[in-house]
Amino acid sequence: MKALLSVSDKTGIVELAKQLKELGVEIISTGGTQKVLREAGIETTDIQQVTGNPEAFGGRMKTISFNIESALLFDREKDKEEAGELGIEPIDLVVCNLYPFEKVLKQGADFETLIENIDIGGPTMIRAAAKNFKYVTVVTKPEDYPGLIDELQTNNGTTSYEFRKQLMAKAFNHTADYDALIAQTMDKETGKKSVRLAFEEGKQLRYGENSHQQANFYRQKGVDKSLFDIKFLHGKALSYNNILDISGAIASVKELEQEAVAVVKHSNPCGLSQAGTQRKALEKAWQGDPISAFGSIIAFNTPLTLKTAQFFDLTNEDRSKRKFIEVVIAPEIQPEALAYLQNHKNLRVLEYSPEDLPQHPDYRLVNGTLLEQDYDGKLYEKLEVVTQKAFEADKKLIAFGIKAIKNIKSNAIVIVGRKDDEFYLMGMGAGQPNRLVATELALSKARDFIKQDFEGKEEDFEDFYRREIANAYLISDAFFPFADNVELAAENGIRNIVQPGGSIRDKSVIEACNERGVNMVFTGLRHFKH
């Protein structure tokens, strides 16, 4: 058996070569690889003895030759006689990885250095060996070396067809990714915009948006962190909608402080809170919309404790008192909490840290096109009080409210409040084509939220409501096109409004605030989420 070793990444190559030698394999190698192997005392055949030609042009020509490619490509059955006549001896194993184009690109190399790190002979050998995988084994990654040795030892110095087939697929993916990165880099160098995305490790989901639709889930290649890395601890398989809601839930707590909890339904947080304790944060988040919380996704930004998990009341003999939720996700599920959650056999229990949620550019496929945008990482450009009345804005509450509205589908309105170190979403209106309707929905939910805190006589509720709502902030994801939102909010007791500003009718909106004693703050930054 003959093996050709030509690697840029020398990781593990000496150990591999030693084991190949023990198996009686003849090793052919190229310049840098040969030097490393010989320094380790491993005898190799110089590739020039196979090609019949010297290495030339500063190493640009080494392996490309009729002899090398023929040794890899000829059909061991049909072409055996012809190969003998041509003096071609088969090469049965290729171990090759490519010039480090990606590495030097990340290091900020100049254009000439990038060009010199475009491999030509390597991809040619890899593709030739992969094409002829029926007879030839091709290995492109050091992590596959142990499997190769195991295979050779198990099969008396040969490899199985299925093993070669698996490595063949890896090889073509390796060269495809390599060429895609080069092509995209060269497009950028010539002033063109292009994106080449690749995904792998696809797995089937329970179903798609609806039960009659099939769905799959893939990991994006080349990213260090991915939502694909969710750790599944318990429950039913995930569906397409679960993944979208989980993403929205994790994003909703990612930027929050203290102990934070999001209650998400149909990708929108209907409950959101941060507080000094995890249990209190969950209670206030649930209070945001207890009805919509039915069948929701619950995300935490800290390890989930048993005390918090017991809020769901999963062991109550009265089943109607148990809180039905679809998914619980936290950076860590403490063992006692997991055991408790497992009382609900179908509840999906997952581990994933919000810190690991990537902030890569957002991509969206739209009918044969691709949209790309930067991650929405800003909160506001300014906090400018534009109304007449002297007013000191609660910057922490505004920040909390904007972090909430960034994760709610537009048109969006949120009403947020705080008590000491507790911050909470009191009501929201999401995904409305009419901003006034979104305001109506948010006000209605805020009234329900406040009612849950009221313990007095029914006839005294309105006064209690007015006191509470007066300290809340109504935040809009975009400017108010008309004064009607201000009029509605003021009628319902709102005294603080935050919006980006920028409408041609800003003046009339501000006047409506001044007439009603409402404070208004302009942020200068919109947060649409479509």
Pick the catalytic residue: 10, 131, 141, 225? Answer: 131
- Check if the beta carbon of residue 476 is closer than 8 Å to that of residue 406: no
DSSP letter, residue 162: H
Q: For residue 2, what are its two tokens?
A: 């003959």
Identify residue 274 by its one-letter amino acid code. Answer: Q
What are the percentages of helix, strand and coil residues in the chain, rounded to 5?
Answer: 40, 20, 40
HEC letters along 368-405: CEEEEECCCCCCCCCCEECCCCCCCCCHHHHHHHHHHH
Pick the catalytic residue: 21, 221, 266, 323? Answer: 266
Alpha carbon distance 177, 182 (integer Å): 9
131 is catalytic: yes
Q: How many other C-beta atoms can be found within 10 angstroms of the C-beta atom of residue 417?
A: 23
DSSP letter, residue 304: B
Q: Is the dihedral of CA 347, 349, 354, 357 positive or negative?
A: negative
- Check if the beta carbon of residue 363 is closer than 8 Å to that of residue 197: yes
78 is catalytic: no
Alpha carbon distance 405, 427 (integer Å): 11
Alpha carbon distance 95, 6 (integer Å): 6
Alpha carbon distance 89, 314 (integer Å): 70
Strand partners, 328: 298, 349
Long-range contacts: 62-69, Cβ < 8 Å, 24+?
Answer: 62/6, 62/30, 62/31, 62/121, 63/4, 63/6, 63/30, 63/121, 63/122, 63/124, 63/125, 64/120, 64/121, 64/124, 68/4, 68/125, 69/124, 69/125, 69/128
Alpha carbon distance 14, 106 (integer Å): 27
Catalytic annotation, residues: 131, 266
